[in-house]
Amino acid sequence: MARQRVPEGPAPAPAVQKLRVRYAKRGRLRFSSTRDFQRALERALRRAGVPMAFSAGFHPHPKVSYANAAPTGTASEAEYFEVSVTERVDPESLRVALDEALPEGLDVLEVVEAAPGSLADRLQASDWVIDFQGVTAEELRRAADTLLAHERVEVTRTFKTGPRTFDVRSALVSVDVEPSKRADCAILRVVVRHTTPAVRPDDVLTALRAVTELAPPTPPLVTRLAQGPLHTATAGVADPLAADEDADGA
């Protein structure tokens, strides 16, 4: 029987604190992928001198976990990750240091010490703003009303395992048209429940085209305003970094 190799040297220092971080993806950085951000973050953590905890084994990795990243091409004010450290750090000091070390457009907004439980389990829904240019509010409102009138609207998207068809309508918690400062623009505000597979903003646009033939002349600009616990009574999205008594509104 072959003998198992054991990594040489001391075991990695244990983690003594876990921090949850909210950051924004703005401007041209909305085109950065999740992997692009991971590389930028690891460089920023080193530059900021963060005492990161590492996994054991032959190829140690920083103990950083990511949760429900926005699709490439969309901006976001509510992206999250967790990082474990081997020395206790002040959350606000970490926020400032990471914000300075990351490129402009990847902006660290909030850092808190992690509460018990899973961050991913708290991300139940997303609040999206979709800005249509060349579409009037009346056109967009008619399209939104038509979409909501359907009990089921299926779309097909290609995954790594191949094409998959799924229902978009059941994931829509609320769909509202908001006024824009320009007459030839319209804003769609959509709260989407997180499902498997995830219903993304481009799936909502595909569903709109399927039931209304809505075809904006230019691709809409998409921004995630929030993601977190879903308030079923108000169709709102709470702060996932808040204490349970503040965030739980279901």
Whether residues 32 and 68 share a domain: the answer is yes
Domain that holds residue 179: 123-247
pLDDT tens-digit map of 208-250: 999 998 889 999 999 999 999 998 888 899 999 987 644 444 4
| 53 pLDDT more than 90 | yes
Q: What pLDDT score was predicted for residue 180?
A: 83
Distance between CA 53 and CA 89 in Å, rounded? 12
Whether residues 131 and 243 share a domain: the answer is yes
Are the C-beta atoms of 237 and 227 separated by less than 8 Å?
A: yes
Comparing 57-61, 143-147, 151-155, 162-166, the range with the smallest average pLDDT is 57-61
Q: Say which CATH number the domain at 97 has.
A: 3.30.70.580
| 196 pLDDT more than 80 | yes
Q: Which residues pair with 164 in a beta bridge?
A: 157
Q: Say which CATH number the domain at 169 has.
A: 3.30.70
Q: What share of the chain is helix, strand, coil (3-state, %, to 5)?
A: 25, 35, 40
* Mean pLDDT within 83-90: 96
pLDDT tens-digit map of 57-67: 778 889 999 99
How many domains, in total, are found in the chain? 2
Are the C-beta atoms of 234 and 240 separated by less than 8 Å?
A: no
User: Would you say the C-alpha torsion 113, 114, 119, 121 has a positive or negative sign?
Assistant: negative
pTM score, whole prediction: 0.89
Distance between CA 83 and CA 64 in Å, rounded? 4
| 140 pLDDT more than 90 | yes
Residue at a domain's end among 84, 114, 144: 114
10 contact partners, CB below 8 Å, separation of at least 6 = none
Q: Does residue 10 lie in a domain region?
A: no
